Structure 1
Amino acid sequence: MDSRGHSNGGELETNEMDIRNLSSSRNNTHCVHKVGVPPKQNLFKEFKTRVKETFFADDPLRTFKDQSKSRKLVLGIQAIFPIFEWGRNYNLTKFRGDIVAGLTIASLCIPQDIGYAKLANLAPQYGLYSSFVPPLVYALMGSSRDIAIGPVAVVSLLLGTLLQKEIDYHTHPEEYLRLAFTATFFTGITQATLGILRLGFLIDFPSHAAIVGFMGGAAITIALQQLKGFLGIQKLTKKTDIISVMRSVFEATHHGWNWQTIVIGVAFLSFLLFAKYIGKKNKNLFWVPAIAPLISVILSTFFVYITHADQKGVAIVKHIERGINPSSVKQIYFTGDNLLKGFRTGVVAGMITLTEAIAIGRTFATMKDYQLDGNKEMVALGTMNVIGSMTSCYVATGSFSRSVVNYMSGCQIAVSNIVMSCVVFLTLEFITPLFKYTPNAILAVIIISAVINLIDIQAAILLWKIDKFDFVACLGAFFGVIFASVEIGLLIAVSISFAKILLQVTRPRVSVLGKIPRTTVYRNTQQYPEATRVPGILIVRVDSAIYFSNSNYIKERILRWLADEEEQTKKAYSPKTQFLIVEMSPVTDIDTSGIHALEELYNNLQKRDIQLVLANPGPVVIDKLHTSDVTNLIGEDHIFLTVAEAISSCSPKLVEEA
């Protein structure tokens, strides 16, 4: 018992010495600064500032300041049509790169467009139409130098799935086609509206993890849908989940598979995968996988024609409408029940296509070191789809596979899209009859080889390593797509993204700080184990704004830290906690619920004879604390600029108590 008492006395002496050292260091090294309160702002001016920062952070009108009227007109035209800005510096050298890139992506897009149209349950020519008009419009209005425009697999499948639930394309093909144009129209309206109102931040809500899972699941769903053409099955279930599709495939084994079709499919799938392998091994041979689909179409069509394989059960394309896009303005539903159906589908498709296109554009803009205006992109994509819906096109957007080929081919500017569009025009006018004997199997194979890249296993592994919650979000979206449907997977992706935001807002991090030895720096004790607690003082940091959604949790979490601290001090026979310092530099804002929680915390601490101290509250926070009179409640002499100054001020009182 004597030795234990002796030990306690030693600890008390050490603690007293630490406190005195703190007190002396205050006199030698610290001077206390008063936390400033920003001047009161006019309410209207503050609201205007916030709106401008939210919607016009890039200040688009800045370039128009101090300009003549004629110059403002020129700048306005260039803002809407960037082609008039970069066109002045365009030259023959750049055109050479663009024409090579345009011809290369055209060879890739023509067979893909025919296959993607089938995914959307549309006739093949509509895929080609969608690679003729939209790229021309985007070339005039788009700000990306590298995006290649046209139909994409995921959106084609999404459109086909959603529209099929509204109207059966087998029994009502005309109504289905009209609904597709209506959905495309509202896709464009959605995109353009988001751009004009500068609401692009809305497309960031599906997290990267959810998008990775959704794209991977969609890729598998698309590949499963191609088993009908790959195996020569006459009838396949209209459902998209993996269980229904595989059951339908195996039920057709005894009477529905065609061995000639399978031979064509396996041979050309091997060829396409080998071409991809060559392109990956040698970057200079990027053109090999780019032209491989067109070569496959030519060879397989010739093979079917000379062997009459179509008479032996090999399904062929048969007929593709010749000629350029006819007008479809009168086919869009502007009244009736189908208007709402098209609107719902268009909004969903618009958000997905924007997410994909903006992500692709930003990727290549970073690689080439130029700025991409997200709002201009939305307006360009929206205008493109609105005009497309009136010219027999369905939803088009930036294609990742084509954009990669466009970039690797040496594209300089959006002229490569114009070149591609011209090639598609020539195809529609003169070449479409030659696709008559193209086997459906080759279209299925082209789609399968294209969507393989959407399954990003490395990204999923990285998600697991970095953030387990993100990995769960990825899996949720992935399994939602393959075991339920595309729209269910999309809903799960968005829901998980919102759930993550909600969790982070309602359960922010509250950490205990300690002093880094031989410094006046205070850091998280979990991150820095060498950081030491200050006797008699508990320092906590709130790493979030304090709102109604988390104020009660923050208050209770701080009180739990305090209870743990008091329990430890009793066991160690250390001085009783007399001060609670809340480091508030990460607290960017506080609402009335947060202020109320702070008052409750103060009252709770008063009952325990513990003084609440605030360190470094931001301008918004300190203004609201003054307005609500909380500063008088806590005491202005208990609000400090830094944790070090707060401790320096508290240390003499600790010495007195000791």
Structure 2
Amino acid sequence: MELQPMDVDTTAASGPSERAKLLLASPNPSAPWQDLISSIRQTFLPRPKTKQPRPRHSVLFLQALFPILKWGRNYKATKFKNDLMAGLTLASLCIPQSIGYANLARLDPQYGLYTSVVPPLIYAVMGSSREIAIGPVAVVSLLLSAMISKIIDPSVDPAAYRRIVFTVTFFAGTFQALFGLFRLGFLIDFLSHAAIVGFMGGAAIVIGLQQLKGLLGINHFTSKTDVVSVLEAVVKALQDQWYPLNFVLGCSFLIFILMTRFIGRRNKKFFWLPAMAPLFSVILSTLIVYLTKADKHGVKIVKHFKGGLNPISVHQLNFGGPYVGEAAKIGLICALIALTEAIAVGRSFASIKGYHLDGNKEMVAMGFMNVIGSLTSCYTATGSFSRTAVNFSAGCETVVSNIVMSITVLISLLLFTRLLYYTPLAILASIILSALPGLIDVNEAYKIWKVDKLDFLICLGAFFGVLFGSVEIGLLVAVAISFAKIVVNSIKPSTEVLGKLPGTDHIFCNVVQYPMALQISGILIVRINSGTLCFANANFIRQRILKWVEDEINDDMEESTKTGSGLHVLVLDMTNVTNIDTSGIHALEELHKQLITQGIQLAVANPRWQVINKMKASKLIEKIGAALIFLSVADAVNASLLLKMDNLNSC
């Protein structure tokens, strides 16, 4: 007898049949291009609560693109007082760090300060985070020096190296803006949390090893970043020639900076102490070198330091040379890493303050600031965790603190750069080293190990890839393992047999997870735990379901022989399946045919919007039967039980 719950003249069946009609009558979902246009409109033209005249839409667009136009109307003098103090505190940390990071990026010191002038100003009018501090950071500086040095050696042709850096920054900003414009923020999720933890830890160690050149006063050092090459270069330098005074000077101030940080953490009232320590170290060490003439005794100094306003660098962008492809590739990598760090930092502090940060708008702001930065002698900038923490502790209210910091750095460029001629390189190395412990998160790595072993493998892959290979290898290993995890989970998703939870009418649970759940005689309920039923997993799922059916038939063979109550309905719960392709449709057709040959009917429960639409388009609904499509597992089970009762009564 064929299952026809639509024909059962009972109140219990009329409800499910009506609900099934609603499911089958659902309209077609919107086309992909319509979704794209809608998402772009939401980014730049948010929908007002009430219908607005056309001029109002232009205002909404400008406010979405420049958030300062919205919150700036309510800005008060009391907020500016807090932002002023936070900005000055931020500048005291930013100036020495920017010089050190420029050295890490293998650029002249002034380019670090240039990067702390223009990008923060652009972000201030376009960004939505109130606490984030914009400027150069260690990881991006390492990325640039490690990857661009393979194309052009900065010690051989510094001008060509600098042109590639600006071109990479332009590409990075362009990619970031496009990610935000087309709402492609999910791309940064390819660098999983575990991958970022491992990458940051490995990068921190590599950055620390790179600083041995300045800390030991080594003249000739390797351009490679792996730990083996760096240690070999250090051993060779120690056997050849190095200058102990650099080491003594650098370590002394490194200990001082770390002590002030310890005091600042123990007593929040002294938050300004670790922020001021790097600038104080630069001033004091420069004065010591100048008074003692230590530069004539082997202490390496900055020497020439060009100041003034940011020079225009439009003419230095190189889009027609042989390295434009490599520049675009490096720009994409830097864009992803910079966005990942900035959005993670911004969202962390936004959650503390209790407001939401729109990742797509942040991408647009980051993109524009780097594009404009590349035109004004800046290299890739992003949000810094250490400086953002200082900005937050100093009591900033808005991004005006970034404006104050930028103006302060600009004044320093105009008036004080000549005073930094005698600044020892060992101090810049110690400042960078003092910022590295925050990048190595051992506790988070241990937490990843406790939660997910495969994620921990991704973390280790990124860590050791950066440490013993290169920055690119570390990223490649992390992304490759992440993709492998996705592929394995997609190809072999889990399927589970459901049973009814005792004491309930419509709750069905995994019988393995909930042993008390009862399987219903004659009905097998299987749930597919995959977001998509596609070419990668359709055949595996079909075979897995048929195996469940075979096992169920074998278990019920004796009972079905005596009572005729063997398996007669397979209920396929598709609640978790959000999409399906032609391979998935074909697999369901084959499953239906194989079940029919065994006298078993296929009932589909809760197919989602995209799934039911494609089932109708492929006419799979007609093959299975509209009466066998249900809105819930409970509806399908109730209809199957009614059929079983009719069969028993007819016997």
TM-score normalised to the size of structure 1?
0.90
Q: Which of 333, 351, 355 matches 2:340?
A: 355
Is residue 231–residue 261 contact of structure 1 (8 Å, CA) maintained in 2? yes
The aligned counterpart of 1:557 is 544
Give the letter aligned to residue 176 of structure 1. Answer: Y
Give the letter aligned to residue 124 of structure 2. Answer: A
Name the CA shift for 1:507/1:319 in 2 (closer, same or farther; >3 Å): same
SS of the residue aligned with 1:301?
A: helix
In the TM superposition, what are the counterparts of 1:10-409 in structure 2 within 5 Å?
33-34=16-17, 35=20, 36-39=22-25, 41=27, 46-52=31-37, 55=40, 60-63=45-48, 66-409=51-394
Name the CA shift for 1:247/1:571 in 2 (closer, same or farther; >3 Å): farther
Mapped to 2, the partners of 1:458 and 1:218 lie a distance apart of 17
Give the letter aligned to residue 631 of structure 2. Answer: L
Mapped to 2, the partners of 1:279 and 1:180 lie a distance apart of 36
Mapped to 1, the partners of 2:50 and 2:322 lie a distance apart of 47
Q: Which of 500, 522, 527 matches 1:536?
A: 522
Give the letter aligned to residue 537 of structure 1. Answer: I
Name the CA shift for 1:84/1:57 in 2 (closer, same or farther; >3 Å): closer
The aligned counterpart of 2:415 is 430
Using the TM superposition, give the Cα deviation of residue 490 of structure 1 relative to its aligned residue in structure 2, in angstroms.
Answer: 1.6
After superposing the two structures, state which structure 1 stretch, 423-432 or 195-204, moved more. 195-204
Using the TM superposition, give the Cα deviation of residue 325 of structure 1 relative to its aligned residue in structure 2, in angstroms.
Answer: 1.4
Give the letter aligned to residue 540 of structure 1. Answer: V
Is residue 577–residue 610 contact of structure 1 (8 Å, CA) maintained in 2? yes
Is residue 55–residue 199 contact of structure 1 (8 Å, CA) maintained in 2? no
After superposing the two structures, state which structure 1 stretch, 585-594 or 556-565, moved more. 556-565
Structure 1 residues 212-265: Cα deviation after superposition (integer angstroms, max 9, x where no partner): 111111111111111111222222211101111112212222233322222222
Mapped to 1, the partners of 2:185 and 2:380 lie a distance apart of 19
Give the letter aligned to residue 630 of structure 1. Answer: L
Is residue 172–residue 332 contact of structure 2 (8 Å, CA) maintained in 1? yes
Structure 1 residues 583-632: Cα deviation after superposition (integer angstroms, max 9, x where no partner): 12222222221111011112222233322222222333233333333233
Give the letter aligned to residue 564 of structure 1. Answer: D
Using the TM superposition, give the Cα deviation of residue 146 of structure 1 relative to its aligned residue in structure 2, in angstroms.
Answer: 1.1
Mapped to 2, the partners of 1:516 and 1:197 lie a distance apart of 45
Is residue 512–residue 541 contact of structure 1 (8 Å, CA) maintained in 2? yes
SS of the residue aligned with 1:512?
A: strand
Question: Matched residue pairs, number?
Answer: 632
After superposing the two structures, state which structure 1 stretch, 68-77 or 579-588, moved more. 68-77
Using the TM superposition, give the Cα deviation of residue 538 of structure 1 relative to its aligned residue in structure 2, in angstroms.
Answer: 1.9
Mapped to 1, the partners of 2:586 and 2:474 lie a distance apart of 41
Mapped to 2, the partners of 1:174 and 1:411 lie a distance apart of 38
After superposing the two structures, state which structure 1 stretch, 433-442 or 254-263, moved more. 254-263
The aligned counterpart of 2:618 is 628
SS of the residue aligned with 1:539?
A: strand
The answer to whether the aligner puts 1:609 opposite 2:599 as a matched pair is yes
The aligned counterpart of 1:595 is 585
Is residue 37–residue 623 contact of structure 1 (8 Å, CA) maintained in 2? no
The aligned counterpart of 1:619 is 609
Is residue 16–residue 631 contact of structure 2 (8 Å, CA) maintained in 1? yes
Name the CA shift for 1:338/1:510 in 2 (closer, same or farther; >3 Å): same
Mapped to 2, the partners of 1:649 and 1:42 lie a distance apart of 27
Mapped to 2, the partners of 1:51 and 1:382 lie a distance apart of 20
Mapped to 2, the partners of 1:123 and 1:95 lie a distance apart of 33
Mapped to 1, the partners of 2:103 and 2:559 lie a distance apart of 74
SS of the residue aligned with 1:166?
A: coil
Using the TM superposition, give the Cα deviation of residue 153 of structure 1 relative to its aligned residue in structure 2, in angstroms.
Answer: 0.4
Mapped to 2, the partners of 1:572 and 1:117 lie a distance apart of 79
Mapped to 2, the partners of 1:213 and 1:439 lie a distance apart of 32
Is residue 124–residue 400 contact of structure 2 (8 Å, CA) maintained in 1? yes
Name the CA shift for 1:238/1:585 in 2 (closer, same or farther; >3 Å): same
TM-score normalised to the size of structure 2?
0.91
Q: How much is the aligned-residue C-alpha RMSD, in angstroms?
A: 2.5
Structure 1 residues 518-541: Cα deviation after superposition (integer angstroms, max 9, x where no partner): 212110122212212223322110
Structure 1 residues 558-603: Cα deviation after superposition (integer angstroms, max 9, x where no partner): 1222333344446999964332211122222222211110111122
Structure 1 residues 165-186: Cα deviation after superposition (integer angstroms, max 9, x where no partner): 1111111111111111111122
The aligned counterpart of 2:6 is none
In the TM superposition, what are the counterparts of 1:564-579 in structure 2 within 5 Å?
564-569=551-556, 576-579=566-569
Name the CA shift for 1:417/1:529 in 2 (closer, same or farther; >3 Å): same
Give the letter aligned to residue 160 of structure 1. Answer: S
The aligned counterpart of 2:512 is 526
Q: Which of 406, 409, 419 matches 2:404?
A: 419
Using the TM superposition, give the Cα deviation of residue 345 of structure 1 relative to its aligned residue in structure 2, in angstroms.
Answer: 2.2
Name the CA shift for 1:55/1:469 in 2 (closer, same or farther; >3 Å): farther
Using the TM superposition, give the Cα deviation of residue 79 of structure 1 relative to its aligned residue in structure 2, in angstroms.
Answer: 2.7
Identity of aligned residues (%): 53
Give the letter aligned to residue 351 of structure 1. Answer: L
Mapped to 2, the partners of 1:600 and 1:102 lie a distance apart of 67
Mapped to 2, the partners of 1:246 and 1:571 lie a distance apart of 73
Name the CA shift for 1:403/1:635 in 2 (closer, same or farther; >3 Å): same
Name the CA shift for 1:69/1:606 in 2 (closer, same or farther; >3 Å): closer
Is residue 46–residue 60 contact of structure 2 (8 Å, CA) maintained in 1? no
Name the CA shift for 1:268/1:507 in 2 (closer, same or farther; >3 Å): same
Mapped to 1, the partners of 2:625 and 2:172 lie a distance apart of 57
Mapped to 2, the partners of 1:51 and 1:71 lie a distance apart of 23
Mapped to 2, the partners of 1:436 and 1:630 lie a distance apart of 78
Mapped to 1, the partners of 2:511 and 2:269 lie a distance apart of 52
Is residue 31–residue 645 contact of structure 1 (8 Å, CA) maintained in 2? no
Mapped to 2, the partners of 1:524 and 1:475 lie a distance apart of 34
Using the TM superposition, give the Cα deviation of residue 420 of structure 1 relative to its aligned residue in structure 2, in angstroms.
Answer: 0.4
After superposing the two structures, state which structure 1 stretch, 149-158 or 444-453, moved more. 444-453
Give the letter aligned to residue 494 of structure 2. Answer: R
Mapped to 1, the partners of 2:324 and 2:33 lie a distance apart of 37
Mapped to 2, the partners of 1:579 and 1:526 lie a distance apart of 21
The aligned counterpart of 1:507 is 492
After superposing the two structures, state which structure 1 stretch, 622-631 or 526-535, moved more. 622-631
Using the TM superposition, give the Cα deviation of residue 53 of structure 1 relative to its aligned residue in structure 2, in angstroms.
Answer: 5.6
SS of the residue aligned with 1:319?
A: coil
SS of the residue aligned with 1:398?
A: strand
Gaps (5+ residues) in structure 1? Answer: 1-25
